A and B are shown apart, each in its own frame.
Chain A
Amino acid sequence: MSAADLLLWSFLFPLPTLVLSALGLPKRAGALSFLSPLAILVAGVAWLAQGAGSAKVAVPDFVRFLPDGAFRLTVDPLAGVMLLVVGFVSTCVFVYSQGYMAHDERPHRFFAFLDFFVACMCLLVVAGNLMVLLIGWTGVGIASFLLISFWWQKDGGAPLKAGYLALGANAIGDAALLVAVVLVPSGLGELSGLGAIAHEAPERATALAWCLVIAACAKSAQGPLWWWLPSAMAGPTPVSALIHAATMVAAGVYLLVRTAGVIVDAPTVAYTTAWIGVWTALLAGVASLWQPNFKRGLAYSTVSQLGWMFTAVAVGAPFAALFHLVTHAAFKAMLFLSAGTVIAATHHEERIDQVGGLAKKLPFAFGYFVLGTAALIGTPIVTAGSFSKDAILEATLASPWPELGWLLLAGAFLTGAYAGRLLFGVFLGAPGPATEHAHHPGKIFDLALLPLAAGAIALGYLEAGTGALSGLLHDVVAVGEPVHVQPTLLGLGAFAIGLFGVAAGALLARTSTKCLPLPPFAELWQALWGEAQAIPEGVAALHTGRVSRYALIVLLGVAVSIGVAVAPVAGREAPPPVETKRRPYVPTDPRKKKDEERRKKKEQEERARRQQQRKEQQQEMRLDATRGDLKPLKAPAKPAEGSAP
């Protein structure tokens, strides 16, 4: 059994620790849980060492009513790389969680949910067709809900409401993906071959592309479906790092990279997606500056960075998107976990104006945050973020829509501003009220982030100068220009703009609120949302319990139903009755026999007359048709007649 075959079943790896945690074992919660993602990571490394091969398994006719009802699992280089990312980040987060959740009431529950998430995420990655992908896709959504609302009774149920929001957005994406599953014609079941739909069934290609983009937008909080991710920060911070920064929200990008062929072959969809990505990147960058809660500020940063990846896929550079996905997973998880360290140190203080000057008390977290900020703004050579970000910028500028690239370059300023605001607002400047009581939460908070920090520095060299990543993926993903170690002029320019942004952010962090004032339309939005919540009660009020009301609705409904059913034949002149063996039952009375006979005679006459009429009509129609045929012959004769006299 090769490592690729083993990776096919990676979604089963977390099951043993899941069961243990569910049973409340071991006594120190999570002490063994990190072994599952570590096993995935080790299997992934073994797969790399064995030459990164592919493997497939399929159970045919798993679902009989679908065109492609097979249960397919596939491991190819793309899935392998994604599994490595999942294993790597999860291992760090699992270790970190042991510290973060040490004082929780129900830590075993937490680790069971995390294991469930990792299992679903792995299934999503190794899915060989859309149906299996949907199982993992919905699974991670539910795991996300369970973890967001992990402290569901806190703050008057606010985490539970945040969980509903996440479920709602995810449901829209799930619906789109469900339609996509139904759309895929038979023979194109495998995800890797889905791109051929443009040739095999062109009438469905655009619809499928839309479905995939809507699903990806929901998962990655893009465009009109962004709203759930910031509120998802109500969950524990390790969850925000793993699910809402590194892996699950990147699943949308993963899906688009997988099916890039479908998207690129539908130009309208690709163009719209690119704009969605750019606008989300810009607007989320601005929205991050409004947030008084620094964790939410980071969440908007994630939304913004995912926008960059969406743009990359849409302009036909899926490799750049995947590269950024890999590097972003490392440095964004690191940023979140260091924010988590701050939260743990200040006894769950998340407001930026309550903290400040924490650099001395939390030197490690400060160091990680500086490194993360440097990676976000793309500091050349020393951070991984610079290589992947430049790859996206270059690809977008070289695409048919270079204006998007210029907009992204402007977005680099916003990136710097929001990262700088958080860095200066939390770790530097004057100490806030919560800074005094802050204490270092423990060594595990520092050590768990070391691998991520190493990743944030070194992952860029997977591609830059070496071309290892593109070499691995070139069979599965369209790779673009090679990435060099020496910074390009464009990269340096973007970095300089980012530095200006950081300066602006630092200035903002010196104000009293440390954030931009909220725009007025935010209140309008709140008001509308409040109104919308009253709709269900209005509908449910139909159910009054009064029988008279029920009867009225029933009668009206039935009347409408009869109308709908009879409509196709109503108003049409009844054709002559067809002779059938069964005759309508007509009661005969000897006294009325004469009447009966007379009636029958009349009917027969009537029928004959109608038949005659119809014949005549038909003949007329035939004549019309003949005349119609003759017309072109007559037509040229007209001018001749006119000119004769």
Chain B
Amino acid sequence: MTDLLADLSWTSRAELILVGTMLALLALAPRLEKSTTATSLLGVFGALGAGACGLQVEGLPRLGMLVVAVGVVVAMLLLQVAELFDLRQRPEAAALVVVGGLGALVIVASRSLLEIAIGVELLSLSGATLVALGRGQRPLEAAFKYFLLSAVTFAMFLFGMALLFLANGSFGLDALNEVFGPGRGVALAGAALMVMGLAFKLALLPVHFGALDAYTAGPASLVGFVMLASKLGAAAGIAKIASASGASVQQLLLGAGLLTIGFGVVASFAQTELRRLLAYSAVAHAGFLAIAAGSPKLGMPTALFYVVCYGAAALLAFAALAGTGSAANDDQLPVARLGNGLGRARALALVLALASLAGVPPLPGFWAKLAVLMTAWKAWGPVPTALVALGGVIGVIYYLRPVPDLLAQSKQEGPRLSLGVALALALTAGLVLFLAFAPGWGYWLANN
């Protein structure tokens, strides 16, 4: 037994720890439903274990494990205020969060298409169900749409895999590189299908719809994690497939990315609710991620750096919103009167998150966009770079729209901050500020 453990890579150990945590959460669910603290602690320990494994290795798996660990920890801290339909389902929600983290980690560490497929399936399972656990009718409807579309896109992914196997008889990621001759067209069609299948998780045009619904209607305290995990997994998977399949798939990603940025930016102007604004923002950011992942050089590190910077801000934004909505309408937060009743700490956190999402220097969102611009310039030349730059900064208008209102918030007005929310806010805000003043470190983590 010990020999078997010694042979395992650190990535496998982290995955095993997550599986163990999930099993423990499910097995103990009847007891844990009475104590949210115990549930959260169990989840946090699992995440910390996975993160500790990440410190033992280098390269992509380390980044994956650390990001997943942070995401799971934040979700666990917010579990107390999670807007669940049935509050006794907290252990199940916690287990699903762990499953989502596992899915993202499997994709980041994958060496074959089969592993990516398993990761995608784990992500879908976790994402759709977490949204469905939310309070009210809308989360259920949104989760159904999300699940339906993720099934369709997963079928596309499988079909793409089948085409590649037809062309080359292998599920290895390198297999794409080795296909020449008449099978090339089939292999490229397969790659395109796989990219589009994964693009659903990224919320890339034209497969962004389900994500829009889910991010708008899902419980605020958990959606931040769902976004982070799916973006991490999808970006890593797409970068792997794109770098293996050559110029035409990369151009496809550039085109889809530019379209997505354009759509996300223009449509965001019409949004009057914060949750919808954040959902459309997730779409616009998917465009940048796709362009990064589709770059011939440095695609993977740029995409992952982007995920880290975006994820920190998105987690912060949703942590600030966690537990603020009323039971009836969780998603109705009009941007024009956002300041009402959030309280100063949440309002300031939201300002920081929105400014980072908008790409205000020197916040991490800015460094991430600069990194994408740099790769876009090297790979595609001036015109796409200029378009990306414009799409990157014009959003500042709608992101900063609620800021005057938020800054006018006084201390007393908001709901009481529970310990979990306060910790989550401190952790994510600290992460955003750290990345703001040490962008080099974040990039090193993604590139090493």
CB neighbours (8 Å) of B183 from chain A are 577, 584
B385 at the interface (CB under 8 A from A): yes
Partner of B185, one of A152, A175, A570: A570
Shortest Cβ distance from A182 into chain B, in angstroms? 5
Query: Could you give, for residues 39-70 of chain A, a 1 whenever the CB lies within 8 Å of some chain B CB and a 0 otherwise?
Result: 00000000000000000000001111110010
CB neighbours (8 Å) of A69 from chain B are 440
Given known A-B contacts A554-B209, A566-B248, A146 and B169 have beta carbons under 8 A apart: no
Shortest Cβ distance from B331 into chain A, in angstroms? 13
Query: Could you give, for residues 156-186 of chain B, a 1 whenever the CB lies within 8 Å of some chain A CB and a 0 otherwise?
Result: 1000000001111110000100101111110
Q: Which of B180, B255, B393 has the most CB of A within 10 A?
A: B393
B419 at the interface (CB under 8 A from A): no
B415 at the interface (CB under 8 A from A): no
Q: Is the CB–CB distance between B267 and A536 below 8 Å?
A: yes
Inter-chain CA distance A582–B172, complex, in Å, is: 12
Q: Is the CB–CB distance between B393 and A175 below 8 Å?
A: yes
Query: In chain B, residues 325-382, which have Cβ atoms closer than 8 Å to a Cβ of chain A?
Result: 336, 355, 360-362, 366-367, 369-371, 373-375, 377, 382
Q: Is the CB–CB distance between B373 and A178 below 8 Å?
A: yes
Q: Is the CB–CB distance between A564 and B251 below 8 Å?
A: yes
B392 at the interface (CB under 8 A from A): yes
Q: Is the CB–CB distance between A179 and B152 below 8 Å?
A: no
Q: Is the CB–CB distance between A554 and B396 below 8 Å?
A: no
Partner of B206, one of A145, A170, A171, A554: A554
Query: In chain A, residues 428-442, which have Cβ atoms closer than 8 Å to a Cβ of chain B?
Result: none
Q: Is the CB–CB distance between B374 and A575 below 8 Å?
A: no
Shortest Cβ distance from B184 into chain A, in angstroms? 5
Query: Could you give, for residues 283-299 of chain B, a 1 whenever the CB lies within 8 Å of some chain A CB and a 0 otherwise?
Result: 00000000000000010
Q: Is the CB–CB distance between B252 and A179 below 8 Å?
A: no
What does DSSP make chain B's interface, helix, strand, loop or mixed? helix
Given known A-B contacts A207-B382, A550-B149, A167 and B367 have beta carbons under 8 A apart: no
Query: Could you give, for residues 87-106 of chain A, a 1 whenever the CB lies within 8 Å of some chain B CB and a 0 otherwise?
Result: 00000000000000000001
What class of interface size applies to chain A in its complex with B?
35 or more
Which of the candidate stretches A317-325, A488-496, A501-509, A540-548 sits at the interface with the other chain?
A: A540-548
Which of the candidate stretches B53-61, B122-130, B268-276 sits at the interface with the other chain?
A: B268-276
B contacts with A, residue count (CB < 8 A): 89
Inter-chain CA distance A360–B73, complex, in Å, is: 69
Total contacts A-B at CB 8 Å: 211
Q: Is the CB–CB distance between B400 and A142 below 8 Å?
A: yes
Closest B residue to A544 by beta carbon equals B209
B27 at the interface (CB under 8 A from A): no
Given known A-B contacts A149-B404, A550-B145, A142 and B360 have beta carbons under 8 A apart: yes
Closest B residue to A543 by beta carbon equals B212
Inter-chain CA distance A146–B405, complex, in Å, is: 10
CB neighbours (8 Å) of B249 from chain A are 565
Closest B residue to A584 by beta carbon equals B169
A516 at the interface (CB under 8 A from B): no
Shortest Cβ distance from B411 into chain A, in angstroms? 10
Q: Is the CB–CB distance between B360 and A146 below 8 Å?
A: no
CB neighbours (8 Å) of B189 from chain A are 562, 565-566
CB neighbours (8 Å) of A64 from chain B are 440, 443-444, 447
Partner of A561, one of B152, B192, B390, B407: B192
B191 at the interface (CB under 8 A from A): yes
Q: Is the CB–CB distance between B178 and A580 below 8 Å?
A: yes
B205 at the interface (CB under 8 A from A): yes
Q: Is the CB–CB distance between B270 and A171 below 8 Å?
A: no
Given known A-B contacts A62-B440, A63-B443, A550-B210, A565 and B390 have beta carbons under 8 A apart: no
Inter-chain CA distance A558–B204, complex, in Å, is: 12
Q: Is the CB–CB distance between B188 and A565 below 8 Å?
A: yes
Q: Is the CB–CB distance between B193 and A584 below 8 Å?
A: no
Given known A-B contacts A134-B361, A539-B266, A585-B169, A557 and B206 have beta carbons under 8 A apart: yes
17 contacts between A and B (CB under 8 A): A63-B370, A63-B443, A109-B407, A142-B360, A142-B400, A164-B397, A171-B390, A175-B393, A179-B389, A182-B370, A550-B145, A551-B152, A554-B149, A558-B206, A564-B248, A568-B248, A575-B181
The 7 closest A-B pairs by CB, nearest first: A557-B206, A565-B192, A536-B269, A536-B270, A574-B182, A550-B209, A540-B267
A contacts, CB < 8 Å to B = 61-66, 69, 106, 109, 131, 134-135, 138-139, 142, 145-146, 149-150, 152, 157, 160, 163-164, 167-168, 170-172, 174-176, 178-179, 181-183, 207, 535-537, 539-540, 542-543, 545, 547, 550-551, 553-554, 556-558, 561-562, 564-570, 574-578, 580, 582-585
